Chain A
Amino acid sequence: MTSYSTPLKKGIINRYNVTFHGQGEQVILFAHGFGCDQNMWRFVAPAFERDYRVVMFDYIGHGRTNPEHYNRERYASLQGYAQDVLDICHALELDNVILVGHSVSSMIGALACIQEPDRFARLIMLGPSACYINDGTYFGGFERQDIESLLEMMDGNFSGWANSLGPTTMGNGDRPELGQELTASFCKTNLDVAQQFARLTFYGDNRSDLPKLRTPSLVIQSLEDVIAPLEVGKYVAKNTPNSSFRMISATGHCPHMSAPTETVAAIREYLSHIN
């Protein structure tokens, strides 16, 4: 077992709230998407603990990370998030990594793999989209106004976001049964960070990056996913070299939460073909 006592490693672990589980040798690194944090992997990650070293983290401004580390310049592009993934791998000396990204983390993962092809063994993309906005004959599923409305709606949900208009302490102690501390921390995101992440995610266009990806990859596509519909997932698989496509019968954009067993099976089956 590697020691995580050096200042560099400790620094990265705290910065990204990196967690480790499992006894395996090979690293499987889970990257959460827009709107939540590493907790969204809690129904699938345990299934890999026997055979892999499971590593999870939160992006800056998400989950339990300190929003003070947020750097506007760095996160003005998805490259900044890809750099997060690479920084974690460098500091913790993770090699031959299986990277699993949900939603926008599929493209973040692709950028990281393009940047350092030797570091990653496989990239698994759960509900990926290379471009969310319709463009000419390309179907992404959304128009720019849809995203503007989304940003406005996020403004209105002040209770869900840390550091926003709403009262920061809620409940006034008259609902002790909630276990406030713990429950309140799920999917907590700093509003500014979340809105900027939403802009990057939904206005982003990574179609030209797909052909550059050399790492073997898998697209997992669920049914009736309005965020990443079937044709969008097929587009990613078709335009990415060494890519496989796998339909699962789960519905919605979060099959790892709504159908964890099926999602685990799809990932396992794909990984069983490695040598």
Chain B
Amino acid sequence: MPDSTSHFPGGMLVLDAESRIAAVNSYACDLLGYDEGDLLGKQVNVLLTMASQIYFQTHLYPLITLQKAASELYLTLQTRERIWIPVLLNAAIHDQDGEGKTYYAFIPVYQRRQFEQQLINAKKSAEDALLRNDELRTLQQELQSHQADLDRQIGRLRQRNDELEQFSKIISHDLQEPLRKINLFTGLLTREEHTAFTSMGRYALDGVARSSARLRALITDLELFFSQAVRSPDKVGRVDTQALVRAVAEEYSAPDNVFQVAKLPTVRGDQEELARLFRHLFDNAVKFRQPDRKLTVQITGTVLSVNSFQHLPNKYSYNDYIRIVVADDGIGFDNRHREDVFRIMEKLDTRSPGIGLGLALSKKIVEKHDGQISANSELGRGTQITILLPAA
């Protein structure tokens, strides 16, 4: 630097566009324990503590580049002997010969920094105390309102549960009785002499017989859906999904049904229920296969972090979940129905057997495990069922 700057009682530093030292004055050299020649062309990082390097690279450099100037920045420099020097600096960018150079002026602030640190600490502890108080008050209010909500919801759920129980009784008993009679009388009628009916009569009788058989199947399925016993907590444990899925896949494997099971992590759940879940899914895959070619079902799994709060807004607790994807190359369905398929009695293909209970039951099992299930499908390409279950 020109001679006049050597008498300045403050540090002066010029960096080129790549943050290399282009010039430095003698005050800075003396302060940092270097000769000018040691520093020219070096990265500015040699003068900075590790923390200052992070701060410079992530915040100061972008800030100065965007603003072309910055002032009252606090940074810690490091001497050749690795002694830390707190400094206050101003920066400005000026173009020189087509290259943007950054000019820094700085002074050490040993004492000021100490006073400031004390102020900051005092302010912090005061703020922390206030914040804790505020937070506690807010939490208390939230808790009270949640308790009231919870109580109301428990009431409502009890009522719904009673209704469902009655409904289940009606299905399993009250509805079965008249149906049994219809079946009985239809049976009697079909055993009549063929000539006892007109052709219209015979046609109508067949219709009654078919419809009552279908009604019976529906009622059996409905009964199954509503009577699914609530999982007893002692049956929940670590489930080796890989072994479980392999075993279930075995049941459905055939020369033209291929199941490829990848490495699957362990989940927390009820072994039997989960086996039932995969039976439903594989059953569907086989049922909705392409009629004229081999079926391939791929089962893969990954560990994910997922917010376990699914219903309360603004609540977060990230926990490990296992995502299992069951992908088939069957006939698929229009993806507009990706939500509908999980509804009970929802059947996209009216020719298929059953009442479309499989995915509704699957959803029930997954939700009992505090998990999530979703579907993604493309007509003619196949269906992907994605399940999230809590990791063991």
Contacts and interface: CB of A to CB of B under 8 A. Distances in A.
Interface stretch (A88-96, A145-153, A231-239): A145-153
Contact of A36 (B50, B55, B58, B119): B58
Contact of B54 (A160, A202, A252): A202
A107 B214 CA distance: 55
B65 interface: yes
Given A114-B302, A159-B72, A187 B54 contact: no
Given A114-B302, A165-B123, A226-B45, A35 B74 contact: no
Contacts of B315: 73
Contact of A157 (B62, B73, B304): B73
Interface in B285-321: 302-307, 314-318
A33 B304 contact: no
Given A40-B62, A153-B74, A187-B63, A251 B18 contact: yes
Given A71-B314, A114-B304, A212-B303, A227 B63 contact: no
Nearest to B317: A73
B65 A257 contact: yes
B55 A150 contact: yes
Interface in A186-202: 186-187, 202
6 contacts: A74-B316, A80-B318, A153-B55, A153-B74, A160-B63, A251-B19
A156 B316 contact: no
A152 B49 CA distance: 13
Interface string B22-63: 000000000000000000000101000111111101110111
Contact of A257 (B50, B62, B314): B62
A155 interface: yes
A83 B313 CA distance: 14
A265 interface: no
B54 A257 contact: no
Interface string A133-155: 00000000011001111101111
A258 B52 CA distance: 19
Contacts of B50: 142-143, 146, 149
A71 B59 contact: no
Contact of B76 (A149, A178, A202): A149
Given A34-B58, A114-B304, A155 B120 contact: yes
Among A143, A150, A212, A258, the most chain B Cβ lie within 10 Å of the Cβ of A150
B304 A153 contact: no
A83 B86 CA distance: 38
A187 B45 CA distance: 21
Contacts of B316: 71, 73-74, 76-77, 80
Contacts of B304: 114-115, 212
B75 interface: yes
B67 A150 contact: no
Nearest to A157: B74
A79 B304 CA distance: 10
A39 interface: yes
A79 B53 contact: no
A253 B61 CA distance: 9
B17 interface: yes
Contacts of B161: none
A41 to B, nearest CB: 10
Contacts of B63: 36, 160, 186-187
A6 interface: no
Contacts of A251: 18-20, 43
A150 B51 contact: yes
A240 interface: no
Interface string A197-226: 000001000000000100000000000111
A150 B49 CA distance: 9
B51 A186 contact: no
B54 to A, nearest CB: 5
Contact of A227 (B20, B58, B119, B123): B58
A225 B61 CA distance: 13
B18 A253 contact: no
Contacts of A42: 66
Nearest to A39: B66
A183 interface: yes
Nearest to B124: A155
A66 B61 CA distance: 24
A219 B314 CA distance: 34
Among A77, A156, A226, the most chain B Cβ lie within 10 Å of the Cβ of A156
A227 B56 CA distance: 10
A17 interface: no
A159 B318 contact: no
Interface in B72-120: 72-76, 86, 113, 116-117, 119-120
B166 interface: no
Contacts of A34: 58
Interface in B107-147: 113, 116-117, 119-120, 123-124
Among B43, B45, B69, B316, the most chain A Cβ lie within 10 Å of the Cβ of B316
B307 A147 contact: no
Contacts of B305: 77, 79, 111
Interface in A53-79: 71, 73-74, 76-77, 79
Among A111, A146, A160, the most chain B Cβ lie within 10 Å of the Cβ of A160
Given A71-B314, A77-B305, A251-B19, A149 B51 contact: yes
A103 interface: yes
Contacts of B314: 71, 73-74
B247 to A, nearest CB: 26
B120 A165 contact: yes
A44 interface: no
A186 B120 contact: no
Contacts of B45: 224, 226
B71 interface: yes
A156 B74 contact: yes
A258 B66 CA distance: 11
Contacts of B123: 165
Nearest first, the 5 closest Cβ-Cβ pairs linking A and B are A35-B58, A149-B51, A35-B59, A146-B50, A253-B57
